[in-house]
Structure 1
Amino acid sequence: MRIKQSAVAGIFYPDNADELALIVSQLLAKNPQQGCMPVAIQVPHAGLIYSGGIAARAYNRIRRYLNSISRIVILGPAHRVPLQGMAVMDAGLWQTPLGQVQLDNVLTDALISEGRVSVNDMAHAQEHCLEVQLPFLQVLDGECRVLPVLVGQTPLSSVSALIGRVLKEPGVLVVISSDLSHFHSYSEANLIDRATLQQINSLNVEITPQQACGCYALNGLLAYASDHGLKAENLGYCNSGDTAGDKSSVVGYSSYAFY
């Protein structure tokens, strides 16, 4: 069984297991969140010191429901490799400093055979947007298998159909990994992101790559949510200027629950 090795430990999060577990536990403790069980959540994917608090709110939202979640399908953008369509990886385990995460090969193989996704290990090799979600899941200690999917330039209908397909399986939670605007001034980012949040709130599927790097996955979820009567609940927003970054050039972060 192939093991996918961590690509961004020591960069986006600590490579020391004790330090990583402590930081994630502190982020969860400082960002409580309660509410009904979501069908899907949206989380950011920057380094933990930048966006970890906002991500923790979404993970706290699912914390009390982990016993009913057996599979987590994570969709996010390919930052390093140009990608058309949606790509999975050829691996059975994913290694982080906190141990190994089981990947859902059964559902992965089904999606491949149905022609919904292809295997592209190169796209996954150095990608961070999915990997930075794993320490939260490991600290929460959910007995979940993970299915990581990178979403490139993909028709809205295909992403929405994939989300609908996996949600037909028992015990599935969908996680959309996306940051918001990139590299604007603090005040300008707030204006841009406020408009984007309004679009998410209203399930508007016309979010652009300039508004959210994970727009293809996010728009697919918004389309599914609109078609199935889901509500989007904003759990938090900030940008890197609010956390550990310079305010002259910031990245925006949000988290949502869809139910």
Structure 2
Amino acid sequence: MNRAPAVAGSFYPADPTTLSRMMADFLRQARPDGKAPKAIIAPHAGYIYSGPIAASAYARLNSVRESISRVVLIGPSHRVAFQGLAVSSADTFTTPLGSIEIDKEAIESLQSLRFVGYLEQAHALEHSLEVHLPFLQQVLSHFKLVPIVAGDASPSQVSQVIEKLWGGDETLIVISSDLSHYHDYSTAQRLDKHTSELIEHLDYQHLSSEQACGKVPVSGLLKVLQDKSLKIKNIDLRNSGDTAGDKYRVVGYGAYVVE
């Protein structure tokens, strides 16, 4: 079974050549300072809006292009309400750039957690995972994917999943989240700065879904980092008013790395 792209042609170009060139431009303009991250938080909006910010994180993966063989990708559910975390029984997830093999063994290992289950409806139309896939295909050589959609789940539940799949240098953790939604430019800047401070201080207890639509997976990652005494830092903080939108009603985006 294959999970076909749902937002190709709307969130990002459906033509593979156009798509690859767009991402190459974003990555070229990013500044890949610092070492390759173990985990990232990156946005999931249309590429013209959030692509440059996502590229700030993805550009740092160039040095580990050949060594990362598994990506654990967790994003929030926008279309289906459910309890816990949803995995897929698909064999591949496809984008205009080709198919990505699913790590069935990793997904099977999560079945020991009672709050993780198969739910294809959660994946079928969900963009929070899909928009990351072309970036991953662009910057990594060959990898298997563990796609997880987060529903109503606690930080502890998400952290258990991340801990179980943490692995070593072969595993990259990607958390999908935008920041504030539909405020004016200056209000968004103020709100997103505060949210960034909460994230950098690992203060998931005070993070709300109004501050980050991916609050559930973000909180789970922050709990893991707290438990492991690791740090996360913001490397890009902008909004749609900085990229391709007006400044009257913007959406905030942040890129974060765990090195």
| TM, length-normalised to structure 1 | 0.96
Q: Using the TM superposition, give the Cα deviation of residue 170 of structure 1 relative to its aligned residue in structure 2, in angstroms.
A: 6.3
> Which residue does the alignment assign to 1:243?
243
Aligned 8 A contact 1:85 1:154 in 2? yes
- Matches of 1:69 and 1:51 in 2, distance apart? 24
Structure 1 residue 73 and structure 2 residue 72: aligned? yes
**Partner SS state of residue 245, structure 2:** coil
- Counterpart residue type for residue 51 of structure 2: G
Q: Using the TM superposition, give the Cα deviation of residue 164 of structure 1 relative to its aligned residue in structure 2, in angstroms.
A: 0.8
> Which residue does the alignment assign to 1:257?
257
> Which residue does the alignment assign to 1:225?
225
Aligned 8 A contact 1:185 1:248 in 2? yes
> Which residue does the alignment assign to 2:159?
160
- Counterpart residue type for residue 251 of structure 2: V
Q: Using the TM superposition, give the Cα deviation of residue 142 of structure 1 relative to its aligned residue in structure 2, in angstroms.
A: 2.2
The number of aligned residues is 258
- Matches of 1:43 and 1:4 in 2, distance apart? 22
Matches within 5 A, 1:171-210: 171-205=170-204, 206-210=206-210
- Matches of 1:120 and 1:159 in 2, distance apart? 16
**Partner SS state of residue 127, structure 2:** coil
Q: Using the TM superposition, give the Cα deviation of residue 94 of structure 1 relative to its aligned residue in structure 2, in angstroms.
A: 1.1
**Partner SS state of residue 72, structure 1:** strand
Q: 4+ runs of 1 displaced by more than 6 Å?
A: none
- Counterpart residue type for residue 93 of structure 2: W
**Gap runs ≥5 in structure 1:** none
Aligned 8 A contact 2:61 2:140 in 1? no
> Which residue does the alignment assign to 2:137?
138
**Gap runs ≥5 in structure 2:** none
Percent identical among aligned pairs is 43
- Matches of 2:115 and 2:168 in 1, distance apart? 15
> Which residue does the alignment assign to 2:111?
112
| TM, length-normalised to structure 2 | 0.96
> Which residue does the alignment assign to 1:37?
36
- CA-based RMSD of the aligned residues comes to 1.2
CA change 1:113–1:161 in 2 (3 A) is: closer
Q: Using the TM superposition, give the Cα deviation of residue 197 of structure 1 relative to its aligned residue in structure 2, in angstroms.
A: 0.5
Deviates more, 1:25-34 or 1:40-49: 25-34
- Matches of 1:178 and 1:159 in 2, distance apart? 14
Matches within 5 A, 1:48-59: 48-59=47-58
> Which residue does the alignment assign to 1:90?
89
Q: Using the TM superposition, give the Cα deviation of residue 83 of structure 1 relative to its aligned residue in structure 2, in angstroms.
A: 2.1
- Counterpart residue type for residue 219 of structure 1: S
Q: Using the TM superposition, give the Cα deviation of residue 23 of structure 1 relative to its aligned residue in structure 2, in angstroms.
A: 0.3
Q: Using the TM superposition, give the Cα deviation of residue 34 of structure 1 relative to its aligned residue in structure 2, in angstroms.
A: 2.5
Aligned 8 A contact 1:43 1:177 in 2? yes
